[in-house]
Chain A
Amino acid sequence: MDALVVLILLLPLTAAAVIGIGHVFGMLCGVADEAVTARIASWAITLSCLLALTLLGADLFGKNTGSFSAGQWLGSDSLSIKVNFITTGFNVGLAALFSILLVIVTRFSINYLHKEPGFYRFFFALSLFSSAMLLLVLSGNAVGTFVGWEIAGLCSYLLIAFAYDRPVAVINATRVFVTNRIGDAGFILGIGISYFYARNIDWNGLNAVAAQLTTPTATVIAMCFAVAAFAKSAQLPFTPWLARAMEGPTPSSAVFYGAIMTHAGVYLVILLQPIFEQAPFAMGLLAVVGLSTAVYSFVVGLTQTDVKSSLCFAISAQLGLMFLECGLGLWQLASWHLCAHAVVRCYQVLTAPSFLHYVHGNPMKPVPRDIAGLRWLYTASIQRFWLDPVTDRALVRPVHGLGHDLGYFDDHIVDRIMGTPARAGRAISSLAQLEGKILSSRPDHDADEFSRGSGFAGKFFQWTADIFNWFEDRLVLRGIGIDAIDMGRQLGYAANKFEKLILKPRYLVVFVFTVLLLAAAI
């Protein structure tokens, strides 16, 4: 029965491929083909749901061996990454639950998205997501889980940017993807460190050697995966992405942020239970972050006035509680909490638009008195504790500023030192007329050309001649006095500029970072 697992993943993937290729090459388009597309997508996910249930049944009757390998994906020296799956226990149960929810959402979307311009795009992304999510929970090694993890993030990008002609939607999508990418970096770091210290990237193998790992090693591995989990499950300080992600169509919000994808972080932590148990500090971190996210989401949720954002803070609060439970060692409770929450939240988000319809015209409820009395808390809650602006200030802007300064440095200093017949920065357009204009605006062009060397020897002699010329001109002819003052002033300017630059926080940070890296290297 173990081999079924491959089909569970391949069916939605094939559906995605068929829809994607068909749409790009114009074989599936217009309202007429909507029915075909819907049928492909829903049949694929329904079949894979049935297979997942069969697999679960087989597991309950003890017919599964526990793992299934479909060969090697990548092999390099001692690093061998297999395509293998876990076919027992929590993973299979979760796969069955998620696939049921996916069937429901797919069915719901067929009517919801009827005659939308992005109909095909939606079903492409949804099918791809189904496959990725099932891979995430079924994969037997860290790389497979990461593949699902990352592709799920990509689908979330595609669906947040569903209405891509609205700039806000695309800005949010990009921001969400990049935020998640930070978590992904933690994941990759975790894979690398596991491979380095534990010589193993299979989940089962990693958990089996967990007891032999020293506490610092286990802590480092656990922390890396915890960062990834925090980013995916919208825990502090990554929480704001969840509110941004609500931009997509309702079914996608339900499936991505309500029912399935945000639970991936909790799933990862539960999966790595033995590692976390070796690392008390990481457990503490889980508890602290979970608790503070829950409190944060509760306070912010109190003042939300629209259904989607209040739901989204409710989601992050519940996820925070799950992390708290994990941190306290209540693993069973956390996994049941995960499953129950997925079901309830899927229903809630799917019915949110109808809910809005029913309560239309009802007076708005006032803010609870407890928080209305505390002015500072109220403001903080309305502003969502300024998390987004703080990230902007602390991270996004300095990085952009650094990029800007380096761009200037590249154009004006590196390029100039390297000697340039054509400057990189000044190329603006392809107009041939411009060339004529530049040439004609330089009357002394010929004179310049006369003393200009070419090739290395030429340049060398030109420079020597220039230096002598400068020496003759400045020092001998004009006298030393005025020039020295000028030079001093220029030096002063340069020093001032340097000081200003070095005092900017981003350079201080870079400086400190470099020193730390150097210290680590030694």
Chain B
Amino acid sequence: MSEAGFPLLSLAILLPLLGAIATGFTPTVKLAKSIALVIAGCELLLTLLIVQSFNAGSGDFQLVEKYPWIPFLNINYLVGVDGISVLFLPMSALLTLTAIIASWNSVQHSPRFHFALLLALEGITIGVFTSLDTVLFFLFWELTLPPFFFLIGLWGIGSQRRGAAMKYTLFMLFGGVPLLFAIVILATNHAVAVGGAIPQALSFSLPVLLETPLAADLQILVFFLLLLGFAVKAPLAPFHTWLPTAAMEGPAHVTAILTGLKLGAYGILRFTMPLAPAAAVEYSWLLGILGAVTLIYGALIALQQTNLRRLLAYASLSHVGLVVVGIASLNMQGLQGAVFQLLNFTLVASSLMLVAGMIQHRLGSTEIIHLGGLAKVMPRLTCFYFLFTLASIGVPGTNGFPAELMLIIGALKAHASLGIAALVSAVLGATYMLSYIRRAFFGPITQSVVSQAQDLSPRELALLCVPALLVLVLGFFPDSVLHINQMASEVWLSRLLNPAP
């Protein structure tokens, strides 16, 4: 672990939180919006600086900062990044920036609170990605709930937005309970393992816990508790029903953040697997089956959807299934493909959702019977939507292809049936995405409201250009991402496959 000279990570967590306070207390709306935009822009630069100062040659945690927080229980403020987590920082910052620009004019009531919440959410998310102390992680994890609750409940576009916000919160609270149990078990196990007294010898720090041996039966318990907690957020079937509801009721840019940031899958990667390595290896088949079921289940349901936002929700469910299959395959290709695919989500799934929001904003609906022939009146919007669709179904040239290729090869290496499930989903993915395009974007115009719709405004064009460009760049040069997480992935794998005696 290398300590940070300058507290870059803390700054990245604090800057948006302070920005949120500033935005919330600014007298005029216009100024508040500008502050939010500037803060989000600075945050993006800051996170890029973090990536710049990150050393890809080491698989260890870097830029680590440690301050005592609750000394009585040995809980510290401990943050740091490794190759697996570091790229999520600029991606979350970019996502927040696009969300702010996307909602620039569409928020009618209490805009200051809205933008303050978006910034706060950004700070908390970066906290989730960087915290290395399990209690600190749990704090940030639960703190993501209030912003989402208010953002969905207050600015949602569906008639049941309150219910959707409630549903989301209840699901997430449910997921939090097993996490907390697992954290307590791990901390007390450390105390027992080193033979100390309970409050003094507790340890919540991830690097310490990774080195602490854990009895086999406890490993199984911890593995399933952590898996349950993260499966709700990821989401894996059958805990996914909050996602379509939130996608239908929530505002598009918030849903974009929700589908773009796969915190649950990240949690499985960061905590579930390494903290209970023997159990993870033993039960990787179960994780693989869970992923494969989610994968096929989501794809088949997506085939039947008539509403774009629900379709995207199920498509995202299916993609999470693929990522989990990759994690469960326990080899470099599967793991690196999974991390790559998670990064892709922040570009592709969220941009698709934003485009859906633009359609909703113009036509008042994303239901198929209200659309048809959009390509004629909105050629640019169609172009961007099509590009992101191609990335989502993994066509070469886009970033979806290298990630999917690695995931499929990884799955095939682990077990042939997992690989075949992944291939089936690739075929189904093309079917549901292109069928929707066929019915909504192509064909004759049937609704008069469609024929009067405006194409993308310069603001929208600018905000879609950045992810579109990144989609192509990462598709052409996947090694630029892979070399950053290579060392960390090797360390991750060796921890699971060759445990220290």
A residues neighboring B (CB under 8 Å): 24, 72-79, 143, 146-147, 150-151, 154, 157, 161, 164-167, 170-171, 173-174, 177-178, 181-182, 184-185, 188-189, 191-193, 195-196, 399-400, 402-404, 406-407, 410, 414-415, 417-424, 426-432, 434-435, 438, 455-456, 517, 520-521
Contact = CB atoms under 8 A, between A and B. Distances in A.
A414 B300 contact: no
Nearest to A144: B396
A73 B445 CA distance: 43
21 contacts: A154-B390, A167-B444, A170-B443, A171-B438, A173-B438, A174-B437, A181-B427, A193-B412, A195-B409, A399-B428, A414-B237, A418-B241, A420-B163, A422-B167, A423-B245, A424-B241, A424-B310, A427-B158, A429-B158, A430-B159, A520-B417
Contact of A438 (B159, B364, B405, B417): B159
Contacts of B177: 456
Given A73-B478, A164-B442, A427-B248, A182 B427 contact: yes
Contacts of B444: 165-167
B303 A400 contact: yes
Nearest to A414: B238
A79 B486 CA distance: 12
Given A188-B405, A418-B239, A431-B159, 10 more contacts: A73-B478, A77-B332, A147-B397, A154-B390, A165-B444, A191-B405, A193-B412, A427-B164, A427-B245, A456-B174
A22 to B, nearest CB: 12
Contacts of B331: 77
B395 interface: yes
A433 B134 CA distance: 45
Interface residues on B, range: 35 or more
B435 to A, nearest CB: 6
Contact of B396 (A150, A167, A403, A520): A150
B304 A177 contact: no
Given A76-B482, A146-B396, A422-B163, A403 B303 contact: yes
B244 interface: yes
Residue among A173, A185, A402 with the most chain B CB within 10 A? A185
Contacts of B486: 76
A428 B360 CA distance: 13
B376 A189 contact: no
B265 to A, nearest CB: 19
Contacts of B416: 520
Contact of A75 (B248, B310, B443, B482): B482
B365 interface: yes
Contacts of A171: 438
A195 B434 CA distance: 30
A427 B333 contact: no
B23 interface: no
B159 A434 contact: yes
A417 B478 CA distance: 42
Given A72-B479, A76-B336, A426-B160, A406 B430 contact: no
Interface stretch (B47-55, B94-102, B218-226, B418-426): B418-426
Closest 4 pairs (CB-CB, A-B): A422-B163, A77-B332, A403-B303, A192-B412
A312 B477 CA distance: 39
A174 B438 contact: yes
B43 interface: no
Given A404-B304, A422-B163, A415 B241 contact: yes
B31 interface: no
Contacts of B390: 154
A178 B483 CA distance: 34
Given A165-B443, A174-B438, A188-B426, A196 B413 contact: yes
B431 interface: yes
Contact of B426 (A166, A185, A428): A185
Interface of B: 157-160, 162-164, 166-167, 170-171, 173-174, 177, 237-239, 241, 244-245, 248-249, 285, 297, 300-305, 310, 331-333, 336-337, 360, 364-365, 373, 375-376, 379-380, 383, 390, 395-397, 401-402, 405-406, 408-409, 412-413, 415-417, 419-420, 423-424, 426-428, 430-431, 434-435, 437-438, 441-445, 477-479, 482-483, 486
Contacts of B158: 427, 429-430
Contacts of B401: 147, 150
A15 B52 CA distance: 34
Residue among A157, A189, A400 with the most chain B CB within 10 A? A189
A403 B300 CA distance: 4
Contacts of A417: 238
B417 A403 contact: no
A164 B397 contact: no
Given A77-B333, A170-B438, A192 B419 contact: yes
Given A421-B170, A424-B248, A178 B241 contact: no
Nearest to A434: B159
B328 to A, nearest CB: 13
A244 to B, nearest CB: 13
If over half of A's interface residues share one DSSP class (helix, strand or loop), that class is named, otherwise mixed; here it is helix
B32 to A, nearest CB: 25
Given A154-B390, A406-B301, A438-B159, A191 B409 contact: yes
B44 to A, nearest CB: 24
Contact of A427 (B160, B360, B437, B445): B160
Nearest to A163: B442
A417 B395 CA distance: 37
B483 to A, nearest CB: 8
Contacts of B442: 161, 164-165, 167, 170
A79 B409 contact: yes
A521 B420 CA distance: 13
Contacts of B167: 420-422
Nearest to A157: B434
A379 to B, nearest CB: 31
B479 A74 contact: yes
A267 B7 CA distance: 58
A306 B374 CA distance: 33
A151 B238 CA distance: 36
A164 B445 CA distance: 11
A434 B156 CA distance: 14
B438 A424 contact: no
A403 B304 contact: yes
B430 A178 contact: yes
A178 B427 CA distance: 7
B306 to A, nearest CB: 10
Contacts of A429: 158-159, 364-365
Contacts of B435: 174
Nearest to B331: A77
A74 B402 contact: yes
A78 B360 CA distance: 46
Contact of A424 (B245, B285, B376, B423): B245
A181 B426 contact: yes
Nearest to A154: B395
A170 B426 CA distance: 20
A192 B171 CA distance: 38
Contacts of A404: 304
B159 A164 contact: no
Contacts of B332: 76-79
Contacts of B285: 521
A188 B408 contact: yes
A73 B479 contact: yes
A192 B409 contact: yes
B412 A196 contact: yes
Contacts of A456: 173-174, 177
A161 B444 CA distance: 13
A307 to B, nearest CB: 26
A162 to B, nearest CB: 11
A427 B427 contact: no
Contact of B395 (A151, A166, A430): A151
Contacts of B409: 79, 191-192, 195
Nearest to A164: B442
Residue among B360, B431, B437 with the most chain A CB within 10 A? B431
